[in-house]
Amino acid sequence: MKSKWTVLSRKALRGLIFLVCLLTTAVAAADEAHNNTGLTEQRVRETACKTAQASIKQQILTPATAKFPDCFGDEAPDIRRTGEADAVAVQGTFDAQNAFGALVRQDYLVMLERDGGPNDAPVWKADLVIINDEPTYIAPGVDFKRTPDGGISLNHKKR
């Protein structure tokens, strides 16, 4: 005959094992969610950077000569979310040949709006491209204005 302590300790041991398994699963799920958030932000940065580069190449005289810093390197562009939930501003520099063949460093700002895609691989479209403080592209349906403090105001016309 088993004592009540043996039965109780087996139930307690099973409960303890179940609790440990449950906690391990919860910790693993939280860690995975944290890693996915970081991955998503990294993919947002990567896709925005590449879209900005492609948008700039469409606006310059010698796109084949354009050289951009690495999207994650020391000279990476500044990529910030704007006031709108699905919009980012990409600001940085690139080198490209001018009409005389000289390699010239240029500044840029590209305003991007999300145009679909999943959260971990968004698709962007350019609303505005500014190279060396001059707007070179303004998307149809977008009103662009400079604010008195030197900032930029973009308004989307109703579609």
CB 52 within 8 A of CB 108: yes
Per-state percent for the chain, helix, strand, coil, to nearest 5:
35, 30, 30
Quote the CA–CA distance of 137 and 123 in Å, as a whole number. 19
pLDDT in tens, 58-109: 999 999 999 999 999 999 999 998 877 789 999 999 999 999 999 999 999 9
CB 59 within 8 A of CB 136: yes
pLDDT in tens, 37-46: 455 888 889 9
Domain spans, the chain: 35-156
